[in-house]
Chains A and B, each alone.
Chain A
Amino acid sequence: DIQMTQSPSSLSASVGDRVTITCRASQNIGVYLNWYQQKPGKAPQVLIYGASSLQSGVPSRFSGSGSGTDFTLTITSLQPEDFATYHCQQTYTTPRTFGQGTKVEVK
């Protein structure tokens, strides 16, 4: 199985901050990497697909980059509604595996 490792597991930030979350795959997955946002008590929602493509309706302050084994999700100018948990997920092969999640909390 491809292991997905996110860092950090949690971070504290303030509104307006730039936030960066990383995801590392245990083997080369090309650009087959998605990012999801999950709020408490809710299902995850797609933010980024194909490592860097913004899902329709997602604000442009979210961006993704990377290829191979190392990927980054960046939120420029964090907004109040962005405090949530973020998950990466590889879609290169089955089993479809997720990172352990990164919780973005209020500083």
Chain B
Amino acid sequence: QVQLQESGPGLVKPSQTLSLTCTVSGGSISSSGYYWSWIRQQSGKGLEWIAYIHYNGDTYYNLSLKSRVIMSVDTSKNQFSLKLSSVTAADTAVYYCARYDSVAYRTFDYWGQGALVTVSS
């Protein structure tokens, strides 16, 4: 059973960079056909896909956030990461990492429990 777990600071100051890491267990991040994703949810709102990355480095971004987002993958640690720069209060949200199955079902089939990140001074 694949499991994902987000980690990182829960509080970030405005204008700084939000950094989160997702650790994958129960499966290899190097499996073909999967993209490793970040999705966020602001309080009381819908889900917003941020970006996803393949283990070979192929990355797709939501254009609305692309100028501030960097994703990376570390296959040796079975981890992938998100950096979101120049954050404001509008970036306060629960951040989920998730696996996207791009071949069989085209779904976000496994999710982390979510990490609340608050942007505040």
Contacts and interface: CB of A to CB of B under 8 A. Distances in A.
A100 B62 contact: no
Contacts of A34: 106-108
Interface residues of B, number: 22
Contacts, number: 58
Contacts of A96: 49, 100, 108
Contact of B107 (A43, A91, A99): A91
A91 B106 CA distance: 6
Interface string A95-107: 1111111000000
B105 A98 contact: no
A43 B105 contact: no
A98 B49 contact: yes
A67 B61 CA distance: 26
B113 interface: yes
A87 interface: yes
Interface stretch (B10-18, B40-48, B78-86): B40-48
Interface of B: 45-49, 60-64, 96, 98, 100, 105-109, 111-114
14 contacts: A42-B113, A46-B109, A49-B106, A50-B106, A91-B106, A94-B62, A95-B63, A96-B100, A98-B47, A98-B48, A98-B49, A100-B45, A101-B45, A101-B46
